[in-house]
Chains A and B, each alone.
Chain A
Amino acid sequence: MTLVAEAETPAKKSAGAKPSAKRDINAFTGLAHIALIAWALVTAGPLIWVLLASFKNNTEIFLGKPFALPSSFSLQTYFDAWTEAHIGRYFLNSVIVVIISTAGTMLFGSMAAYVLARYRFPGNRFIYYMFVSGLAFPTFMALAPLFYILKNMGLLGSYTGLVLVYIAYSLPFTVFFLAAFFKSLPYEIEEAATVDGASHTRKFFQIMMPMARSGLVSITIFNIVGQWNQYLLPVVVMTGPGAENRYLLTQGIANISVSAGYHAQWSTLFAALTLSILPMIVVYAIFQRQIQAGLTAGAVK
């Protein structure tokens, strides 16, 4: 078949219609689909397995046959995950912290970025590069000092401490991205507003912020996802007496996993995992476009 295809190609090139090439395309497309389906299975497989295992009791889990349907559907494991493993509380903690810290990051980040992008003043470049240089430092190199700074301020194990740390560590990228964005916006409208007597603050909130909406949306999503997924900072900050009640989801899950390991009691862990993954799937299903755009925006710029 290949021989025929090769022989025919030059002759038919000018004719346009290429049946042999078409068959070739179909074979290629078939292979492409096999590869793509394989990776889709590899991606979804572990998640489906977690879902199935969350309905099984411990004996069933140890039977093997990971993708067999559970013998009965009971919500007991979910009940345990909610009441004994406190997954609901961890989830709520994460939601509260991320809402406040993302709001703070966006407010302070856009304020700083706006001033640095559109006003000339001595020290402007210095402050800008101070923020941007933070992108070059790996967060965990400063773990020990960060811990003691918080300890000295009495902020260890508190939401306040965690929120402030989240905001501070999210600023470099937020400022870097938004400063570039504010720079690209036109100056005419702003000048018109100045002529009309608008104050600087008013111009920022009523003119520049609405104009920068697309950039703000991208970077908000970026920060929400980044802060929601944080594990290192909560582990460092949320320590001390009574901090367990304020654990965030990532910490909480890791904690449940450790105690599940001691008793080889996996079913509750799977229910807890399912409960923490499901909301992400729902959010992703609704905002899938925006999320992909927001997360890749940083790399494309």
Chain B
Amino acid sequence: MRHGKYPFIIGFLVVPVALYATFVVAAYLQTFQLSLTSWSGLGKIDYIGFDNFVKLWHDETFWKSIKHNLFLLILLPIITIVIALVFAFLLNVGGGHRGGQSRGVWGSKIYRIIFFFPQLLALAIVAVIFGRVFGPDKSGMLNGLFPASWKPWLFLADERYAMACILIVLIWQAVGFYVVLFSAGMGSISDDIYEAAALDGATRVTLFFRITVPLLWSTIQVAWVYLGIAAFDAFALVNIMSVDRGGPNGATSVLSLMIYRNAFDFSQAGYACALGVVLFFLTLTFAALTLRVTRRDSVEA
């Protein structure tokens, strides 16, 4: 066609494609390949068929990790989305209607700025902060706030509550982002709709459930997928915050941590790759299921 088109195309694509192929595509493909080996990370690579997956099936830590990932996968999106939706609604529509315009409550800008900030903090830094917030003696923020007569709570060092602590931190960090995201969505809902509903005598609770939520459905869906992916991760939190990395007694072990520890601490690269493959299919199943289950006839705003 035009003069010099192909040299230009190749020139522009060669570096990004080479980088991507070397560090991403090759790594993913090798994960599948190495999952069928007993490779330790050094020396000879022996193919052992599906032995790694059989081993997985009988691995108690694996099932514990899956359970913990599911715990996060169910609770993190639900709680975060509910809190964020309510706050976004209060910030955008909560102030009632004056002059035909729905308004947020007073100071909604300041709230939004404060709520959003944790999103800018690295999860690793958040993990270090909350490791101290949940400190098991008086130097921890929460135990410091409790009355002096109370026995210190163990939080992360208590098998029963450790996972809940991880969940709380994830929610703490995520809510602000989704408040802003939902606010943007609510901003695009026409005021006429709210006005018409308000004229018909709809209360704010009705407005929330009958107008805001249905019109935001596609954004909520996206939020669900994002939060689900975050629930499959949680590596930084568990690796830094938890007692004994995944402890106590495996109470906070998650798949991402298992992959990391098998690959780098236990010299079981092959097994780590098998876990990676499982994780890949779990993520894919989750994404497909979410899109299926939450599909509704979309309502155009």
A→B interface (CB under 8 Å): 9, 13, 25, 28-29, 32-33, 35-36, 39-40, 42-47, 49-50, 53, 61-67, 108-109, 111-112, 114-116, 119, 121, 127, 130-131, 134, 136-138, 140-150, 164-165, 167-169, 171-172, 175, 194, 199-201, 204, 225, 228-232, 235-236, 249-251, 253-254, 257, 264, 266, 269-270, 273, 276-277, 280-281, 283-284, 288, 291-292, 295-296, 299-300
Option from A13, A64, A229 in Cβ contact (under 8 Å) with B121 = A229
List of B residues within 8 angstroms of A142 by Cβ: 24, 27-28, 30-31, 276
Taking the nearest CB of chain A, how far is it from the CB of B41, in angstroms? 7
Contact A147 B122 (CB under 8 A): no
Write out the residue numbers on chain A whose beta carbons fall within 8 Å of the beta carbon of B28: 137, 141-142, 145
Secondary structure call for the B interface: helix
Chain B residues with CB under 8 Å of chain A are 2, 4-6, 8-9, 11-13, 15-17, 19-20, 22-28, 30-31, 34, 41, 83, 86-87, 90-91, 94-96, 105-107, 111-125, 127-133, 137-139, 141, 143-145, 148, 172, 175-177, 180-181, 184-185, 201, 204, 219, 222-223, 226, 229, 232-233, 235-236, 239-240, 256, 259-260, 263-264, 269, 272-273, 275-277, 279-280, 283-284, 287
Q: Which chain B residue lies CB-closest to A145?
A: B30
- A66-B145, A144-B41, A251-B124 known; A149-B23 Cβ under 8 A: yes
4 more CB-based (< 8 A) A-B contacts, given A143-B272, A148-B41: A29-B96, A29-B105, A144-B264, A232-B235
- B195 nearest CB across to chain A (Å): 13
- Which of chain B's residues have a CB closer than 8 A to the CB of A45? 141
Q: Say yes or no: B277 contacts A141, CB within 8 Å.
A: yes
Closest to A94 in B: B122
Minimum CB–CB distance for B179 against chain A, Å? 9
B20 and A168 form a contact (CB under 8 A)? yes
Q: Give the docked Cα–Cα distance between A284 and B118 (Å).
A: 11
Q: How far is the CB of B65 from chain A (nearest CB, A)?
A: 13
Q: Do the beta carbons of B232 and A266 come within 8 Å of each other?
A: no
User: Is there an interface contact between B175 and A39, defined as CB atoms closer than 8 Å?
Assistant: yes
B27–A229 touching, CB < 8 Å: no
* Given A43-B115, A66-B145, A142-B27, A257 contacting B19 (CB threshold 8 A): no
Determine how close the nearest CB of chain A comes to the CB of B180; give it in whole angstroms.
Answer: 5
**Contact A140:B233 (CB < 8 A) given known A119-B9, A169-B24, A273-B125:** yes
Cα–Cα, bound, A64→B26 (Å) = 52
Asked whether A33 lies within 8 Å of B105 as measured between CB atoms, the reply is yes
Question: In the bound complex, what is the Cα–Cα distance between A62 and B140 (angstroms)?
Answer: 8
Given contacts A168-B19, A225-B120, contact A121 B6 (CB under 8 A): yes
| Set of chain A residues within 8 Å of B141, measured between Cβ atoms | 45-46, 49, 66
The residue in B31, B148, B222, B232 that gathers the most chain A C-beta atoms within 10 A of its C-beta is B31
Docked CA distance A124–B223 (Å): 30
CB atoms of A35 and B129 under 8 A apart: no
Q: Contact at B269–A171, with CB atoms within 8 Å?
A: no
Minimum-distance CB pairs A-B, first 6: A141-B276, A145-B30, A229-B122, A250-B124, A168-B23, A66-B144
Q: Sample 15 A-B pairs with CB under 8 A, ordered by A number.
A: A36-B87, A45-B141, A46-B141, A49-B141, A134-B24, A136-B287, A144-B272, A165-B23, A168-B23, A171-B20, A171-B24, A249-B122, A250-B236, A266-B132, A284-B113
Q: Given that A138-B279, A145-B30, A280-B120 are known contacts, is A127 also in contact with B17, CB under 8 Å in the complex?
A: yes
Among B20, B232, B277, which residue has its beta carbon within 8 angstroms of that of A131? B20
Q: Complex Cα distance A111/B119, Å?
A: 29
CB proximity of A255 to chain B, nearest CB, Å: 10
Point out which of B132, B256, B273, B277 has the most chain A C-beta atoms below 10 A from its C-beta. B132
The docked-state distance in angstroms from the alpha carbon of A87 to that of B176 is: 28
Residues of chain B lying within 8 A (CB to CB) of residue A143: 259-260, 263-264, 272, 276
A231-B124, A253-B124 are known contacts. Are A40 and B115 too (CB-CB below 8 A)?
A: yes
Contact of A108 among B15, B95, B236 (CB under 8 A): B15
A127 adjacent to B114 (CB under 8 Å): no
> Within the complex, which residue of B122, B129, B275 is in contact with A50, where a contact is CB–CB below 8 Å?
B129
Contact A141-B31, Cβ < 8 Å, known A36-B91, A171-B19:
yes
Partner of A138, one of B12, B106, B232: B232
**A contact residues around B272 at 8 Å (CB):** 143-144
Give Cα distance in the complex from A264 to B9, angstroms.
58
User: Among the listed A138, A228, A254, which residue makes an inter-chain contact with B283, where contact means beta carbons less than 8 Å apart?
Assistant: A138
